[in-house]
Amino acid sequence: MRAIRGLWRWRGNPLCRASDLAEAWVALTALVLMLSVAPVIGALVGGAAQSALQRSVREQHESRHRVTATVVRPLERSPLSVDPEGTSGEDLRSRVLAGWTGPDGSRHEAPVLVGLNDPRSGDRFAIWTDARGREVARPLDSATATTHAVLAGFGTAVAAAALVEALRRIVVWRMVRRRYARLEQEWERAGPDWGLTGAGS
């Protein structure tokens, strides 16, 4: 908006220098790019991220299987037994030795972290495994993938707008330096006669 006001203010003004008008046009161009090009870039990146993440969601749901495991016996709780996928990142989990049957029929027994407060032998809980029955992380869900895609698109749009603003500042800085250099040259020419009666006559 400042760029538009600047262009309007300089319209027909005899004090308007070419550099003032150029700065206003640079600012207006940057504003237009921020409001039009940056959102388009963000939408394109977000769309590409959404496609890739949803494809990953489908692949993970096809390759990972939810099976029921049984607690064989509780194990000592590790001080670092924290659920990395918990909402707060601080959900304490119990460490147990568990047994389960994989999708291929193979039997498995291994230490796992479970969300049971007081696990006992025989307690049952769900875990995710690959096709061979090895424990894997829970697959990404569609809503989380969409959230990540939206954040990626928004972040890209903000980064593009910030890049345009940085380029605008660099261009204006160079224009101001060039203007000051011209002023110094003019002062050097007028310097010896400055303030003298009849100078320049």
Cβ-Cβ contacts under 8 Å for 199 (sequence gap 6 or more)? 193
Tens digits of pLDDT across the chain (201 residues):
555 555 555 556 565 666 667 777 888 889 999 999 999 999 999 999 999 999 999 999 999 999 999 999 888 765 544 555 554 444 557 888 999 999 988 999 999 888 887 888 888 999 999 999 899 989 999 999 999 999 999 999 999 999 999 999 999 899 888 888 887 887 777 766 655 555 554
At 89 the pLDDT is 45
Please name the amino acid found at residue 180: Y
Closest CA to 29 of 172, 182, 154: 172
At 49 the pLDDT is 96
* pTM score: 0.64
At 55 the pLDDT is 95
At 81 the pLDDT is 46
Tokens found for residue 163: 């890049």
At 95 the pLDDT is 87
At 44 the pLDDT is 97
At 200 the pLDDT is 52
For 128-186, the DSSP string reads: EE-TTS-B-PPPPPHHHHHHHHHHHHHHHHHHHHHHHHHHHHHHHHHHHHHHHHHHHHH
